[in-house]
């Protein structure tokens, strides 16, 4: 079953829409769903032009397609998603894929903050850029991603994969400050540059195929290794946290 939700144009396009109801399993019982714009509860067909093709009796056989110029206003799409697929043809708002445990989300534009927040399984693909806290925990918490895969084909903002304990995060571009901070497990790969990677890590593996700016001095240099045809410098740490994680970088520059 394919459910297409095309956002209707609105003059009040600056108001975000809380859309946690948009997960594949909810469409098995029809499209009688609601979203919130500010303090107003709205039926799905008040915000979207809804088209349904085919039939499904299991959520893994449901694909939801979101389109329109204002999809960046949609928050919490795919929250607690367990199966099926969501395809966003443009940009998406904050908290997409919160607590996701299965299925696939593909964002063909950019993603706002906390993409894949605290996810435990499934796959998220972002074709554009991802803002701060991608695959991380929420502010003040100590729980990040525990499973699944997040792949960003553009760049990522600050604190990508903060508190990650499992799963895989791949950033094909550069990342901002503190990627992999407080890592406990899992794998983070940054194909470009970043700054202060893996700060205070205890476990897991972080790969930086570019330059690690502001490299922290609390990592113990081990030597060089070959990984995916590249020569990387291996560090162990963060020794300030009695950590035994692995940090691999192509090049690095220490803090002044």
Cβ–Cβ under 8 Å, residues 226 and 240: no
Residue 126: φ, ψ to 5°: -115, 115
pLDDT band at 138 (very low <50, low <70, confident <90, very high): confident
b/e per residue 107-134 (b: at least 16 CB within 10 A): bbbbbbbbbbbbbbbbbbbbbbbbbbbb
Could you tell me what percentage of the chain is helix, strand and coil, using 3-state DSSP and rounding each to the nearest 5?
5, 40, 55
pLDDT in tens, 181-240: 999 999 999 999 999 999 999 999 999 999 999 999 999 999 999 998 899 999 999 998
Question: How far apart (Å, rounded) are the C-alpha atoms in residues 122 and 167?
Answer: 10
Structure token pair of residue 8: 């209707």
137, 162 contact by CB (below 8 A): yes
The mean predicted confidence, pLDDT, of the chain is: 95
The helix or strand, by DSSP H or E, that contains position 245, with its residue range, turns out to be strand 245-254
Distance between CA atoms of residues 7 and 13, nearest Å: 11
| Residue 256: predicted pLDDT | 66
Does the global pTM surpass 0.85?
A: yes
pLDDT band at 173 (very low <50, low <70, confident <90, very high): very high
pLDDT of residue 99: 97
| Predicted local distance difference test score (pLDDT) of residue 56 | 94
Confidence band of 142 (pLDDT split at 50, 70, 90)? confident
Rounded Cα–Cα distance for residues 208 and 4 (Å): 38
Q: Which residues are within 8 A (CB) of 72 and not within 5 positions of it... i.e. 6 or more apart?
A: 90, 91, 92, 93, 109, 110, 112
Rounded CA-CA distance 154/97 in Å is 18
pLDDT, one tens digit per residue, over 57-69 is: 999 999 999 999 9
pLDDT at 12: 67
- Both structure tokens of 12: 């009040």
> pLDDT at residue 241 above 90?
no
Runs of H (alpha helix) within 5-154? 44-47
Q: Say if residues 111 and 90 touch (Cβ distance below 8 Å).
A: no
> Does residue 81 have a pLDDT over 90?
yes
- Residue % of the chain over a pLDDT of 70: 99
Question: How confident is the model over 90-119, as a mean pLDDT?
Answer: 97
């Amino acid at each position: 079953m394919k459910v297409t939700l095309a956002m209707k144009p609105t003059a009040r396009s600056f108001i975000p829409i809380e859309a946690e109801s948009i997960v594949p399993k909810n469409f098995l019982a029809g499209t009688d769903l609601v979203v919130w714009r500010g303090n107003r509860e709205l039926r799905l067909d008040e915000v979207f032009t809804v088209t349904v093709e085919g039939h499904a009796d299991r959520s893994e056989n449901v694909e939801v397609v979101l389109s329109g110029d204002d999809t960046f206003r949609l928050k919490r799409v795919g929250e607690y998603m367990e199966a099926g697929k969501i395809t966003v043809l443009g940009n998406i708002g904050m908290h997409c894929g919160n607590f996701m445990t299965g299925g696939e989300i593909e964002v063909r534009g950019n993603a706002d903050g906390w993409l894949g927040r605290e996810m435990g399984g499934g796959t998220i693909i972002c074709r554009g850029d991802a803002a701060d806290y991608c695959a991380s925990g929420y502010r003040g918490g100590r729980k990040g991603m525990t499973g699944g895969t997040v792949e960003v084909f553009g760049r990522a903002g600050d604190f990508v994969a903060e508190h990650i304990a499992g799963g895989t995060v791949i950033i094909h571009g550069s990342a901002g400050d503190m990627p992999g901070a407080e890592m406990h497990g899992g794998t983070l790969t940054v194909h470009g540059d970043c700054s202060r990677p893996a700060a205070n890590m205890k476990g897991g593996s972080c790969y930086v195929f570019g330059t690690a700016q502001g490299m922290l001095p609390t990592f113990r240099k081990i030597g060089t290794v070959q990984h995916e045809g590249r020569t990387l410098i291996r560090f162990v740490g963060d020794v300030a946290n009695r950590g035994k994680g692995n940090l691999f970088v192509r090049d690095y520059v220490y803090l002044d």
